[in-house]
Structure 1
Amino acid sequence: MTTHQSPALTATATEGDTGTAAGVEVLRYSAFTTDPAGGNPAGVVLDAAALDDARMLALAAEVGYSETAFVTAHDTAARRYRLRYFSPLAEVAFCGHATVATAVALATRTGTGELVFDTPAGEIRVDTTEDGGQLRATLTSVPARSHPADEATQVAPTLRALRWSAADLDPALPPQVAFAGNDHLVLAVRSREQLAALDYDFDALHDVMRAHGWTTVHLVHRAAADRLDFHARDPFPVGGVVEDPATGAAAAAFGGYLRTLGLVTEPVRVHLCQGEDMGRPSDLYVDIRPDDDRIRVTGAAVPLPAPAA
């Protein structure tokens, strides 16, 4: 997929010796939380112009979070930045929580307002605000879409890897492959208890996801039939991570899924609770409009201390 970028973007190298490796400063933020003990940690490198792909991948592996974001070029006056994302195993076209973390890191330094990120998935606009000293970011996704998953080749092998059955699924929310920058299989389970007890076959799910090009499997349970609030979990074995505590890209794709199903007839905000079953509670707010295929995802982010040497 082609990266969209502004011709005014410039690349400059960072001097200094901070962070996880000589000459590279790696900031650490937890996104979709106001508590450093919650949310999804992300690495952020605000000046990665001098880093090649191999170095960025190595740094992401060293940091060890599900993703690290790298600003590889910038137009500071226009508040426009080229952004790439790496998991410990591979580059990812789009990552929501690392986008929120990067936006908050930049807003801390340059002030709140709109930022524009040119990513491998396309242009992502992010509005940053401050409320009571807490910085928040709202990203607007690329156009989201969703289509039914194939029962034999996609749903059945995923259920085997999850150790679930078709009877465990919520018939009101059928399996679909949803996209808002990358693909996610959406599966809705009837029981909150079953979602909480998730214990899947890492290698088997990895293989199914690799075969179909999915970034995560977005597992959800509807909190109540009369509202669009959900508990969510996102296995991420293709990134070398058992599970994401908060997945902004999947949240955006899920917003498109709900819109495709016809469940959004007026502007609505959906609340996703994620991470509580792994001890890192996260809050993701998804704004959906029936007349707009772009999805907005909002969350806070807080800095994390650097690890002890």
Structure 2
Amino acid sequence: MNANVLRYSAFTSDPQGGNPAGVVLDARELHEADMQRIAAEVGYSETAFLSPRDDGSFDVRYFSPKAEVSFCGHATIAATVAHAQRHGPGERVLHTRAGPVRVDVDADLTATLRSVEPRVAALEADDLAAILHALDWRAEELDPALPPAVAYAGAWHPVIAVSTRERLSRLDYDFEALAALMARRDWTTINLVWREDVATFHARNPFPPGGVVEDPATGAAAAALGAYLAVHDALPPQRTFVIHQGREVGRPSVLRVRVPDELRDGVRVSGAAVRIDAGEVQR
């Protein structure tokens, strides 16, 4: 079964930046095996497959080159901007494996997703030790004001904050060891962050479960970070902040996050998306 695959980069206005995603706007005739094959051929960290419903909403599934994931923020931004370019701005409702996600695309083709209800949990000491060992990081390099935890906004991500930009800039980890740990715990990425100031973060996200060394922009992890900061009373007064990601891999990205007063309303993550190629590709 063939499908028209679009290529967009999310959280950027430059095709050379952001996080690339494959997008299939009508996947109703595709089987799961077709989706996995297409995602592997496209080779991006995720490809989003939309299946329109009669009520105007969409079923959506996300596949990395290796496996399906429950939710992917950057592919959501890419897919809804791609759809809006053809059908106009407005709200889309996506039925993901994690639950319903609403996305508003404005006239400037900036998309804002509203996550499922987030959660934050403790990170077990043994798991933290295993993560640090795989990263070759030391506990004393972590930021004591932002303790390690695990956060969820559609997918689970350990949040590990370091105290210096220099520590974050050096990332050369044991791919197989981290992949095995993440598979056992059902974690999607490890969200490694450094807080420049109260409203500015820098992030790196290893993604070995998807066969990707590092994700250049991670919308699901950004939403999870928003919930983490709210629980730890570490948000700025306006409850908004910016994440810079992808610089180290040559694909700079900007993610804007807004956390409502009630976390059950879902964390908002906003960004632009841009077409990478000029034509649709049959897969």
With the shorter chain as reference, the TM-score category is over 0.9
Residue 83 of structure 1 corresponds to which residue in structure 2? 60
Name the CA distance, whole Å, in 1 between partners of 2:281 and 2:36. Answer: 22
Residue 218 of structure 2 corresponds to which residue in structure 1? 247
Is 1:146 equivalent to 2:120 in the alignment? yes
For the residue of structure 2 that corresponds to 1:215, the secondary structure is: coil
1:126 to 85, 103, 109: 103
Gaps spanning 5+ residues in structure 1: where? 1-21
Residue 105 of structure 1 corresponds to which residue in structure 2? 82
For the residue of structure 2 that corresponds to 1:43, the secondary structure is: strand
2:12 to 33, 57, 61: 33
Residue type matched to 1:116 in 2? V
Residue type matched to 2:123 in 1? A
Is 1:183 equivalent to 2:156 in the alignment? yes
Residue 212 of structure 1 corresponds to which residue in structure 2? 185
1:215-230 to 2 correspondences below 5 Å: 215-224=188-197, 227-230=198-201
1:223-238 to 2 correspondences below 5 Å: 223-224=196-197, 227-238=198-209
For the residue of structure 1 that corresponds to 2:15, the secondary structure is: coil
Deviation at 1:263, TM superposition (A): 2.0
Name the CA distance, whole Å, in 2 between partners of 1:216 and 1:264. Answer: 22
8 A Cα contact 2:8 2:22, kept in partner = yes
Name the CA distance, whole Å, in 2 between partners of 1:87 and 1:116. Answer: 22
Residue type matched to 1:128 in 2? V
Residue 273 of structure 2 corresponds to which residue in structure 1? 301
Deviation at 1:191, TM superposition (A): 1.5
Residue 244 of structure 2 corresponds to which residue in structure 1? 273
8 A Cα contact 2:118 2:263, kept in partner = no
Is 1:282 equivalent to 2:256 in the alignment? no
For the residue of structure 1 that corresponds to 2:30, the secondary structure is: coil
8 A Cα contact 1:264 1:289, kept in partner = no
Deviation at 1:52, TM superposition (A): 0.8
Residue 142 of structure 2 corresponds to which residue in structure 1? 169
8 A Cα contact 1:205 1:237, kept in partner = yes
What is the TM-score normalised by the length of structure 1? 0.88
Name the CA distance, whole Å, in 1 between partners of 2:280 and 2:74. Answer: 20
For the residue of structure 1 that corresponds to 2:188, the secondary structure is: strand
8 A Cα contact 2:199 2:235, kept in partner = no
Name the CA distance, whole Å, in 2 between partners of 1:74 and 1:51. Answer: 15
Q: Deviations over 1:81-134 (max 9, x none)?
A: 111000000000000000000100110111001110011010000000123xxx
Q: How many residues align?
A: 280
Residue type matched to 1:191 in 2? T
Name the CA distance, whole Å, in 2 between partners of 1:74 and 1:101. Answer: 19
Name the CA distance, whole Å, in 1 between partners of 2:162 and 2:99. Answer: 32
Gaps spanning 5+ residues in structure 2: where? none
8 A Cα contact 1:148 1:174, kept in partner = no
Residue 231 of structure 2 corresponds to which residue in structure 1? 260
8 A Cα contact 2:6 2:281, kept in partner = no
Residue 110 of structure 2 corresponds to which residue in structure 1? 136
Deviation at 1:167, TM superposition (A): 0.8
Q: Deviations over 1:233-261 (max 9, x none)?
A: 00000011111000000000111100111
CA RMSD of aligned residues (A): 1.6
Structure ID, larger Rg: 1
For the residue of structure 1 that corresponds to 2:167, the secondary structure is: helix
Residue 43 of structure 1 corresponds to which residue in structure 2? 22
8 A Cα contact 1:43 1:69, kept in partner = yes
Name the CA distance, whole Å, in 2 between partners of 1:292 and 1:204. Answer: 33
What is the TM-score normalised by the length of structure 2? 0.95
Deviation at 1:72, TM superposition (A): 2.5
Which shows bigger deviation, 258-267 or 196-205?
Answer: 258-267
Deviation at 1:265, TM superposition (A): 7.1
Deviation at 1:73, TM superposition (A): 3.4
The verdict on how the C-alpha distance between 1:265 and 1:29 changes in structure 2, with shifts beyond 3 A counting, is closer
Residue type matched to 2:273 in 1? A
Find runs of 4+ consecutive structure 1 residues off by over 3 angstroms.
264-267, 306-309
Deviation at 1:267, TM superposition (A): 4.0
